[in-house]
Every structure is written in structure tokens, then in C-alpha cells.
């Protein structure tokens, strides 16, 4: 009995020892697999310490960038150009933390099979310590979803993802600041537009509102002026198939479309736009040369003063007025607002019916502008808004095909169709007292 128990104990002991050995061996094996699966870093740098970049491609002259005294990136070779700070920042982000997909060869003695003997792309990265790291990018892998890469002086060859190769593969056209006007659009205070018909339109900004100053003071459509400024801010040179000589020639022989001057506290910048056949070409005071631009810039600039005028009869916009007074030939209306409630002659009015009337007034829009022809008014409307700071007085006169309107202290005459004016009058007639609360 004792012998049998001893045999069983020995068997259990050997089983435990085997389990421990197998567990330890399996753990070491798993560690090895996990280590093999980790993607080694190709390049690891502090992005803020990088001061110089050089991009070299086969059959192309190198492109060199350096930080200027203000910390902005500047293209220094092949000639000085402003750099696109966003593109440079994105490229730096990739290069400063560049991981491989896998390690191909720890000690590659022959770089030719990887296309690294004469690499298609070389990127030199220099830091504040003046130490240079050179990234070499070679052929595409047989599977087509990665590229071979290595660091100069490092015997290891890696594969890197295609999107990382794209981030590092930059040409002069990619890195240039392509903006034709570099003024901050939010700080522009003046815009002067001279059209092909030699009409000069000048806009002035008062906080968030724009005013037409020339050819004479007029209300401006803030949306249309903002859209003009957006188009100017987005105006970029087309360098996809750049040919400086051809672009300059096309500009010189083109027909003038418009000249623009934009001004902010730091000064003014100018843009000239011309059309040659079906293409547009621009020349800017910011950058040397003439460049092809998108044709929609021409559409944005080739406009007359009426295109930028405010066509809405009232300025209170989407804010609710605090007081409305309207007189017609047969009836008068007086409305005041207190909080969310509307009142007339001491009676609380139905809010929905008043809001319908307010909406109809808000939507009164001219179809064209006239210089004369306004006769005796048949409707008089006064709208007070902006906590009493804005009082708008409008007179409307009936004509054979609609209405003409004038605003107080404004010489312009607005032509309106009959339907919206009559719809506003009907909405005023339909205003009713608020329903009495149930007992």
C-alpha cells in the first residue's frame, strides 16, 4: 500500500514539473512571438527640435526648407518661396514618429533588391544639434501595399506603409504656399473691386457688418461680401501642371476681369485677374509671377454693384422686433413685444399670427433697384428692433406692376412684386387676440 502511494506521488510530482516546464517554455515562446510582431521605429525625433528639411527625388533638384527667425518654415532652395505651414507640419508629424510595418533584414549587405542602392526618395532631417538623419525610400514591395525604407548608416531594411511614403514624398509644388493673398480674412477692413467695365466698388467693414462705400453709400448684402472674401482667401495658384512661362504669357494676353485690393491693419494686397480663352490667370502683389487659377474665382469677381446690395427691405433679420407700426389707406396696426408675448391696444395677441406677420415683413425683398419713380406712399411701416437701437422706417407706393419702396435716409428705391406686399397686409389683417385661458 505504501509502495503504491509512493508511486502515485512520484507520478504527480513529475506531472507538476512537466507542467511548469511547459508553461515556462510557452511563456518564453509567446514573448518571442510578441517581440517579433512589434513594429520597430525607423525614425523617432522631437518634432519641435527639427530645423531643416531636404527632399530629394530622382531627376529633380532638391527642395530645402528651414525655419526662419519667427519660427515659420520657409523654402530656401531651389529659390526662396513661402511654405505651406500645414503641409510641412503634417510631414513633420509623420517623419518624427515613423514606424515600420516589419523588419526585413537586420544586416542588409545588398541594397539593390530593395531599390535602396539608388533610392527614389531621400529626406534629410536636421535638428538643433545639427545632427542629420537621412531617410531612404526604395521600391514598392511585391504585395504592393508598402515600400522598402532604411536610415543612412543603419544596416537594417524595413517596410513602411504606403501612406507614410506619400507623406514623405513631397515636391516643390506640394510644399509651396499656394495662396495668392495671405491677409487674414477676419481682419480685412476694406475691399476695393474694379471690374472689367471700370466700375469701382468699395466695401468697408464695421465690426461684422459690411457697407458699400463706392460708387455711393449703399446697404451691402453681408452674405455676398463674405462670399467674395472667402473666394479671395481661397484663391490659389494651380501648380499641378505649372509652366511659368506659359502662365505669364496667358496672363499678359488675357482680357481683364477684375482688380482687387484688400486691406487690413498691416497694409494692402493686390490681385489682378484676367481671362484667356476659357481659363483664368492671376497675378498677386504677394508672390512673383502669374498663375492659372480656378475659373470660379472669375465668376466671383465679375459682378456689378447691384449683386452686392442688400435686397431685403428690413435689417432686423432673424431677431424678433420689439415694436411694429403699420399704416395703410384704411387701417393702422400697433404691436409691441414684452418677452415672448405680443400686445396691441392693451390686449395680448396670438403669438403665432403675429409671428406670421413678422415673417412676411422679414421676407420683403426687392427684385431690382431704381433711381426714380417713387410717388405718394400708400403704406407706411416702422419696425423697432435690437432693444430699441434700430428703428427702420419704410414707405411703399403702389404701381401698375407691383410696389416701390424707400427707406428713411436712403435715396435708393426698391422695386417689389405685388404678392409679397399683399401677403404681408393679409397677415396683418389675420392677427387675432390670444385665446383666453380655460377656467
Owning domain of residue 404: 323-429
Residues 201 and 162 in one domain: no
Domain CATH number, residue 392:
2.60.40
| Nearest residue to 64 via CA among 166, 178, 175 | 175
Residues 344 and 399 in one domain: yes
Q: What is the dihedral of CA 22, 24, 26, 31, to 10 degrees?
A: -170
Max Cα–Cα distance, the chain, nearest Å = 130
Most confident of 3-12, 39-48, 211-220: 211-220
pLDDT score for 138: 95
pLDDT tens profile 200-233: 999 999 888 999 999 999 999 999 999 999 999 9
Q: How confident is the model at residue 3 (pLDDT cuts 50, 70, 90)?
A: low
pLDDT tens profile 295-345: 999 999 999 999 999 999 999 988 889 999 999 989 999 999 999 999 999
Residues 66 and 171 in one domain: yes
Residues 248 and 152 in one domain: no
| Nearest residue to 193 via CA among 301, 36, 278 | 301
CA–CA distance, 161 with 94 (Å, rounded to integer): 11
Asked whether 242 and 291 are in contact (CB, 8 A), the reply is yes
Residues 146 and 196 in one domain: no
Residues 211 and 253 in one domain: yes
pTM reported for the whole predicted model: 0.78
Instruction: Name the one residue in this structure whose C-alpha cell is 531636404.
Output: 54
Domain membership of residue 254 (yes or no) is: yes
Residues 357 and 418 in one domain: yes
pLDDT score for 12: 47
| Average pLDDT of span 49-68 | 92
Residues 193 and 169 in one domain: no
Residues 171 and 80 in one domain: yes
169-173 own/partner pairs: CB under 8 Å, 24+ apart: 169/57, 169/121, 169/137, 170/55, 170/63, 170/87, 170/91, 171/55, 171/57, 171/60, 171/63, 172/63, 172/75, 172/78, 172/81, 173/239, 173/240, 173/242
Residues 239 and 201 in one domain: yes
Tell me how far CA of residue 259 lies from CA of 93, 182, 201, 274, in angstroms.
39, 16, 11, 9
Q: Dig out the grid coordinates for 429 from the structure.
A: 389683417
Domain membership of residue 10 (yes or no) is: no
Domain membership of residue 22 (yes or no) is: no
What count of other Cβ atoms lies within 10 Å of the Cβ of residue 55? 21
Buried b (16+ CB within 10 A) or exposed e, 414-432: bbbeeebbebbbebbeebe
Domains identified in the chain, total number: 3
% of the chain residues with pLDDT over 70: 90
Identify each DSSP E strand in 185-254 by its residue range. Answer: 190-195, 200-206, 209-214, 218-219
Q: How confident is the model at residue 254 (pLDDT cuts 50, 70, 90)?
A: very high
Domain membership of residue 76 (yes or no) is: yes
Amino acid at each position: 500500500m505504501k509502495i503504491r502511494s509512493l508511486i502515485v506521488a512520484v507520478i504527480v510530482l513529475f506531472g507538476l514539473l512537466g507542467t511548469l516546464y511547459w508553461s515556462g517554455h510557452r511563456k518564453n515562446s509567446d514573448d518571442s512571438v510578441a517581440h517579433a510582431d512589434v513594429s520597430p521605429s525607423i525614425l523617432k525625433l522631437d518634432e519641435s527640435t527639427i530645423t531643416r528639411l531636404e527632399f530629394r527625388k530622382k531627376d529633380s533638384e532638391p527642395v530645402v526648407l528651414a525655419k526662419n527667425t519667427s519660427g515659420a518654415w520657409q523654402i530656401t532652395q531651389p529659390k526662396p518661396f513661402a511654405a505651406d505651414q500645414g503641409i510641412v507640419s503634417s510631414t513633420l508629424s509623420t517623419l518624427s514618429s515613423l514606424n515600420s510595418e516589419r523588419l526585413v533584414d537586420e544586416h542588409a549587405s545588398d541594397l539593390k533588391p530593395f531599390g535602396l542602392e539608388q533610392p527614389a526618395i531621400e529626406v534629410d532631417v536636421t535638428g538643433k544639434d545639427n545632427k542629420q538623419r537621412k531617410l531612404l525610400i526604395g521600391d514598392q514591395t511585391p504585395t504592393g501595399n508598402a515600400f522598402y525604407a532604411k536610415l543612412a548608416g543603419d544596416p537594417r531594411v524595413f517596410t513602411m506603409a504606403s501612406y507614410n511614403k506619400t507623406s514623405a514624398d513631397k515636391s516643390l509644388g506640394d510644399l509651396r504656399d499656394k495662396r495668392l493673398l495671405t491677409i487674414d480674412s477676419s481682419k480685412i477692413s476694406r475691399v476695393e473691386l474694379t471690374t472689367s467695365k471700370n466700375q469701382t466698388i468699395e466695401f468697408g467693414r464695421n465690426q461684422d457688418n459690411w457697407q458699400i462705400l463706392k460708387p455711393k453709400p449703399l446697404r451691402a448684402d453681408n452674405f455676398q461680401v463674405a462670399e467674395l472674401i472667402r473666394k479671395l482667401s481661397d484663391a490659389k495658384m494651380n501648380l499641378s501642371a505649372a509652366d511659368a512661362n506659359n502662365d505669364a504669357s496667358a496672363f499678359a494676353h488675357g482680357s481683364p476681369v477684375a482688380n482687387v485690393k484688400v486691406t487690413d491693419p498691416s497694409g494692402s494686397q493686390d490681385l489682378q485677374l484676367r481671362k484667356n480663352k476659357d481659363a483664368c490667370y492671376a497675378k498677386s502683389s504677394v508672390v512673383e509671377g502669374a498663375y492659372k487659377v480656378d475659373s470660379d474665382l472669375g465668376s466671383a469677381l465679375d459682378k456689378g454693384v447691384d449683386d452686392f446690395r442688400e435686397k431685403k427691405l428690413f435689417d432686423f433679420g432673424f431677431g424678433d422686433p420689439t415694436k411694429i407700426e403699420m399704416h395703410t389707406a384704411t387701417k393702422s396696426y400697433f404691436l409691441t413685444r414684452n418677452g415672448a408675448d405680443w400686445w396691441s391696444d392693451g390686449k395680448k395677441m396670438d403669438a403665432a399670427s403675429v409671428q406670421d406677420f413678422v415673417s412676411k415683413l422679414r421676407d420683403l425683398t426687392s427684385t431690382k433697384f431704381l433711381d426714380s419713380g417713387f410717388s405718394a406712399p400708400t403704406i407706411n411701416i416702422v419696425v423697432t428692433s435690437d432693444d430699441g437701437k434700430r428703428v427702420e422706417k419704410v414707405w411703399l407706393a403702389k404701381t401698375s406692376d407691383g410696389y416701390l419702396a424707400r427707406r428713411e435716409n436712403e435715396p435708393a428705391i426698391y422695386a417689389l412684386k405685388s404678392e409679397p406686399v399683399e401677403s404681408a397686409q393679409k397677415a396683418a389683417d389675420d392677427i387675432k387676440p390670444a385665446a383666453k385661458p380655460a377656467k
